[in-house]
Structure 1
Amino acid sequence: MVRSQEATITDAERPGPGDQLWSVFEFARRYRLAKREENRLLMLYGPTASLHVLLANAQRHSLIS
């Protein structure tokens, strides 16, 4: 039995009527995320997610250590 990704999304993460849906690829490019972080977001949410969810869960790693 295969579970759809829609079934794994909680009600808190499901976009509401006023939420903007963004392409994860476009979000990663605009916010200059590393490819690894882009792939992590793709695995979590698929190709699109609400802007609110992406901003809350994206992690940027500093280039200065």
Structure 2
Amino acid sequence: MARSQEAAMDDAERPGSDEQLWSVFEFVRRYRLAKREENRLLMLYGPTASFRDLLANAQRHSLIS
């Protein structure tokens, strides 16, 4: 593989400048998610994750059924 292809692959694997890392705790507080959902996100990602991943995987459980 050529060096330019290796560099391109490395750049693709790195989080881009547009990909913000958020504290899971801050995300849960801002979006008023349940403690159960906070624990689930912490198990998935640890204390920080990309904003895009958090939005894609967060689940809001209805209090009214």
Which band: TM-score by shorter chain?
Answer: 0.7 to 0.9
Q: Cα deviations across residues 23-62 of structure 1 (Å, max 9, x unaligned)?
A: 0000000001110100100010010001100000000001
The match for 2:5 is: none
Which has more helix, going by share of residues? 2
TM-score by length of 1: 0.74
Give the number of the structure whose alpha-carbon radius of gyration is greater.
2
Q: Report % sequence identity.
A: 85
Structure 2 residues without counterparts, runs of 5 or longer = 1-12
TM-score by length of 2: 0.74
Aligned pairs, number: 53
Structure 1 runs of 4+ aligned residues shifted over 6 Å read: none
Where in structure 1 are there 5+ consecutive unaligned residues?
A: 1-10
Shift of 1:21: 0.6
RMSD over equivalenced CA pairs, Å = 1.4
